[in-house]
Amino acid sequence: MVKPKSESKNKSEDRNEKNPELSSRLKNIKEIIRYYDVPEEHLTLNVILHKMSEILEIYLKTLQQILQPEEFHAIYECNAFTEKDKTDILELYKRIILAHREILKALIINEEKNSSSTIQFVHQEITSVKGQMLGVVEKMQQSWNNNSKSSTDRQMRYFG
């Protein structure tokens, strides 16, 4: 028998019924779904891990541009960072790469309990480094507004 529309459950309830392990294993499943933009029709632990990995890869690529600049924009932007900043960025990079490796391990092990605990750990790491990443990106962005002669001289000497 087909249920009338008034009796049908909302998508969130349907999703939780289809994936009861997610609701029971992940205490903050709604936040995780929203934060990582996980499609409802593909809601699995592995999909969440892959979505988290995408975020971490963006963070890592951004930090690599400061630590080892190769393209013009990265060379220009990295001049805005002091040696102390770069040391702090390396520590941030280490923290993010460790979280990324945890995801890789979870995907290799491919066990529900391990994947769930990895998701919780990585989500906590991502949310805790979010402020630092925002600060780095803002400083990169501000470097383009900085018209000081010293930053231009440093940039030009790099090419010489």
Residue reference for tokens 């790099």: 158
109-138: per-residue pLDDT in tens? 999 999 999 999 999 999 999 999 999 999
Q: Identify the three-state secondary structure at position 49.
A: helix
Residue 15 has pLDDT above 50, yes or no: no
Region 10-17: mean pLDDT is 46
Confidence (pLDDT) at 23: 64
- 1 or 56: which leads in pLDDT: 56
- For residue 36, give the nearest of 141, 98, 119 by alpha carbon: 119
DSSP letter for 43, please: -
- What is the C-alpha end-to-end distance of the chain, expressed in Å? 77
Residue 10 located in a structural domain: no
Q: How confident is residue 21, by pLDDT bands cut at 50, 70 and 90?
A: low
Residue 74 located in a structural domain: yes
67-93: per-residue pLDDT in tens? 999 999 999 999 999 999 999 999 999
Residue 64 located in a structural domain: yes
Residue 4 makes CB contacts below 8 A (sequence gap 6+) with none
Residue 2 located in a structural domain: no
Task: For residue 112, give its domain range.
Answer: 19-159
Region 85-103: mean pLDDT is 98
Region 57-70: mean pLDDT is 96
What does the DSSP assignment read for 95-140? HHHHHHHHHHHHHHH--HHHHHHHHHHHHHHHHHHHHHHHHHHHHH
pTM: 0.78
Give CA 152 to chain center in angstroms.
32
Confidence (pLDDT) at 39: 87
Residue 38 located in a structural domain: yes
Q: How confident is residue 10, by pLDDT bands cut at 50, 70 and 90?
A: very low
24-43: per-residue pLDDT in tens? 678 788 899 999 999 888 88
Residue 105 located in a structural domain: yes
Query: In the chain, how many domains are there?
Result: 1
Region 87-114: mean pLDDT is 97
- 58 or 5: which leads in pLDDT: 58
**82: phi then psi, degrees, rounded to nearest 5:** -80, 170
Residue 132 located in a structural domain: yes
- Please answer whether residues 129 and 59 qualify as being in contact, where contact means their C-beta atoms are separated by less than 8 angstroms: yes
CA–CA distance, 36 with 123 (Å, rounded to integer): 9
CA–CA distance, 33 with 35 (Å, rounded to integer): 6
Residue 11 located in a structural domain: no
